[in-house]
Amino acid sequence: MSFFISSAHAAAPAAGEPDPLITMAMFAGLFVFMYFMIIRPQRKKQKEQRALVASIAKGDEIVTNSGIIGKINKLEGDYLVLEVSEKVELKFQRNAVLAVLPKGTIKAI
């Protein structure tokens, strides 16, 4: 029976098997990397957007996510009425606000 592997040799652990402690450390390092490179900056951006949306007021000049520039005429709960030109008003959700522009930007364009 020389063609079978001896039972003593088969019971020995594999030489190339990684240490579980190193594997756990790699997963922890990957999580820390993902947190600081992806999760944390995204949360910061969301927090800034919520603050921007909460701070808008009637008369502010804004640009929406779709690129429409206008002046806020009315705020109605989660919606705002935007005057984009004389006698042309559009209704948007507050979350559609991308940025608040400095006063007088619309006249300068």
**What pLDDT is recorded for position 88?**
96
**Residues 6+ positions from 61 with CB-CB distance below 8 Å:** 69, 70, 71, 72, 100, 101, 102, 103, 104, 105, 106
Pick from 72, 109, 78, 102: nearest CA to 90: 72
Domain ranges across the chain? 19-55, 57-109
Q: Which two tokens stand for residue 90?
A: 């559009």
Average pLDDT in the 62-87 region? Answer: 95
Instruction: Give pLDDT, residue 4.
Output: 62
pLDDT digits (tens, 9 = 90+) for 25-66: 999 999 999 999 999 999 999 999 999 999 999 999 999 999
| Residue 3, pLDDT above cutoff 90 | no
pLDDT tens profile 4-23: 655 555 555 566 778 889 99
Q: Which fold has domain 57-109?
A: SH3 type barrels. (2.30.30)
